[in-house]
A = this chain, B = another copy of it.
């Protein structure tokens, strides 16, 4: 698949389908764990989130993602592959902003490695989100790290 982490706008269902269709090529993988992050239409103080605008330090994203992937591969030796897609730009409520897919020989490493990859993305990827409300006001968000 493509080597790009950042996807302009939402991560589309077609893109996710393409990644999931590719997994059958690996007959050494018994478990695939996938995480999909979606923009919630949260109500905050009477206003509804209609979209999130993501911005990124684009040239640092690939090296930071590679560092995350290397950390995971060295901690979980049964992991065969790790894919990360993250939106940049506007993603509307109900649309997808993050896709992580981890394939491993067995389920435990697939599940644990996917979970840890998501946490490391929140912690290390130089990306910022701005919630945009239905009255067009906005608020910058900060991640709650696990």
Number of A interface residues in the complex (CB < 8 A) = 37
Q: Contact between A38 and B34 (Cβ–Cβ < 8 Å)?
A: no
| A96 contact set on B, CB distance < 8 A | 24
Indicate whether A34 sits within 8 Å of B31 (C-beta atoms), given known contacts A13-B21, A17-B20. Answer: no
Q: How far is the CB of A100 from chain B (nearest CB, A)?
A: 10
A45 within 8 A of B: no
Q: List residues of chain B with CB within 8 A of the CB of A93.
A: 27
Known: A26-B94, A111-B114. 11 other contacts (CB 8 A): A13-B24, A16-B20, A31-B35, A31-B36, A31-B38, A32-B37, A32-B38, A33-B36, A34-B36, A35-B110, A107-B118
